[in-house]
Amino acid sequence: MFLLLFNLAASRVLLSNSEEKAFVSWMRNTNNYFAGDEYHFRLGIFLSNQRFVQSHNKNEANHFKLALNKFAAYTPAEYRSLLGVDSSRRLDNSNIRPKARKTLTVPESIDWREKGAVSDIKDQGSCGSCWSFGAIVAQEGAHALATGELITLSEQNLVDCCNIECHGCFGGWPDKALTYVISNQGGKFNLLSDYVYTATEGTCRFEDYIKVSSIFGVQGVTQGDEDELKFQVGSQGPVAICVDCSNASFQLYSSGIYSEPKCKKYIYNHAMGIIGYGSENGEDYWIVRNSWGLSWGEKGYVRFARGSDMCNIADAVFYSIYQ
């Protein structure tokens, strides 16, 4: 009996002095503070994720690392709320152009950040508006390549105004957002500096601000064709994508080339943008821009394994045709 009590006491001391200390440090670093019952509830989630991160990072077969980032104490429901692609939609081929004759030679690697076609990393907050960020990545890139000028466009404009299969903070699709702009805003956008992001859905105020940029059409690539996707990104610039990011390995991603065998085929729940591609130590990757702020991943970016349609990365691809 004495030994049992001693072990229980020792366990509580160990938790207090190591794991709980790590949790308190995490709260301080991420500006998340909990008290009472919620403190213990979040501590339990954090400790579970801590063990998952440690186990993953010890496995040398994994080519990417995890970290206890700002989502380390999120419930599954809270994490799913960030994944703002309407997964009930079935893809069609209505916006897929016939395969282009690849008369151009694209480089073996490219990073459109280095060529002035990608704006700074943004943060969607707790709003499931990733679809609007994906759409804007594609349009900002198309505008920069057509005009030589990088401008920063407003996602809030789309969150507030788009009503074609868009549901504000509760999901949408990048191509539907761009189609809305063509049909209802004359192909024009607002600047982020005018129509600022609030991470909530409000009243549409498109007419209140200067109209900029221009879009003529939205197209895609053949579903699952990474060669065609490489050609499109390498020759025409950034594109919007929808992928399966439902796994904890993506939630806690920190660095490296992401590869997740648990991704489900034909499941699309998060929108981002591909802004380049390359290779490292013989492993090909896509450079993908997320909308979860600079503290997540590789300063807001994630590299996806290229060549196996990882997490459906080449299935739902959309790009803007600048007018």
Residues assigned a catalytic role = 130, 270, 290
Cα(259)–Cα(311) distance, rounded to whole angstroms?
Answer: 8
Pair 160, 201: CB distance under 8 Å: yes
Cα(257)–Cα(242) distance, rounded to whole angstroms?
Answer: 18
- Name the residue among 321, 297, 308, 141 with its Cα closest to residue 218: 321
- Other Cβ atoms less than 10 A from the Cβ of 4: the count is 8
- Name the residue among 248, 254, 245, 230 with its Cα closest to residue 302: 254
Angle at 202 between CA 200 and CA 204, to 5 degrees: 135
- What is the rounded (10 degree) CA torsion for 136, 141, 142, 143? 90
Amino acid at 258: Y
Amino acid at 294: L
Pair 178, 135: CB distance under 8 Å: yes
Sign of the torsion formed by the C-alpha atoms of 190, 191, 195 and 198: positive
